[in-house]
Amino acid sequence: MKRIFFFLVTNIAILLVLSVFLSLIGFTGILQNNGVDLDYDSLMLFSLVFGMGGSFISLYMSKWMAKSLAGVKVIKTPNNEFEKWYFDVVTRQSQQLGLKMPEIGIFNSPQPNAFATGSSRNSSLVALSTGLISSMKRNEVEAVIGHEMSHVANGDMVTLSLIQGIINAFVIFFSRVIGHFVDRVILKNERGYGIGYFFTVIFAQVILGILASTIVCWFSRRREFRADYGGAQLTSKESMISSLRVLEKMTAAKLPDQMLAFGISNIGNESSLKKLFSTHPPISERIRALEEANLTTLSEHQTN
């Protein structure tokens, strides 16, 4: 119930902010003054504001959402031996990657998972589940931390939000073009918009959104391989593979929908159709890619 409440409040707040912004810049609608023809410039502005704006507002709220929805306990001062070790590992990896120390935290879940989020490379959050901490050896946990830190260093959260925003804008734009066509050409409505327009827009937006999500999922899967390589370079290839084998044997913790793409494991799907809509590749493919990769650790690279 708490997660649903935060989700609704967040989305209502985003809609209000974007609506106020459009009002302040004098936006009057997507129809031309004659009330018949489509104003493509206004429609593009509307699409960009709600597509890009919504995506980036969500990005800037991502740390707050993660703490609220996943129940992350932020570690400001280590209180036990593990928290001190956790803090030291993230500090060392931050220095190796040239990053500002992120916030670190733990969320309560019996299954293993971890995620990174934040609005920029130097304003991020890394969190581990209690299940991951209890089921993995220290070298495996360190590799998982390296995986998440690589997401931060690669700017994956920002890039994913940018791609999602562009996709959203195109979906909003073309769904309304389709709705306009149906309303004017098929339903022969002469002014304003009838109920057919609104039903068509909703239907087109759902269909286009589903199809467009495959692009976002494709990028998300690519970045998981990069983050695995990063985790291996910060620790060792053997440690990264070992941590993935643990995840392969156990069911990963179910994260809130908004955080799924940022977790180290969303299981992944083996079938071709389901794989198109998966944010993560199958763990077996990630292990195989690591085994075939010629990688050196950052410490070895710096020594050379």
Task: Report, as residue numbers or ranges, the catalytic residues.
Answer: 148
Q: Which helix (H) or strand (E) holds 104?
A: strand 103-107
Judge contact between 58 and 258, C-beta under 8 A.
Answer: yes
Long-range contacts of 252-257 (CB under 8 A, 24+ apart): 252/111, 252/112, 252/113, 253/109, 253/110, 253/111, 253/112, 253/113, 253/129, 253/131, 253/132, 254/109, 254/111, 255/70, 255/113, 255/115, 256/3, 256/7, 256/65, 256/69, 256/70, 257/7
Parallel, antiparallel or unpaired: strands 123-129 and 114-120? antiparallel
Residue 96's Cβ-count burial label (10 Å; 0-12, 13-18, 19+) is middle
Instruction: Specify the residue for token string 């909703």.
Output: 202
Tokens standing for 60? Answer: 């800037």
Give per-residue burial for 134-173: e unless 16+ CB within 10 Å, then b. Answer: ebbeeebbbbbbbbbbbbbbbebbeebbebbbbbbbbbbb
Tokens standing for 161? Answer: 């939000």
Judge contact between 177 and 277, C-beta under 8 A.
Answer: no
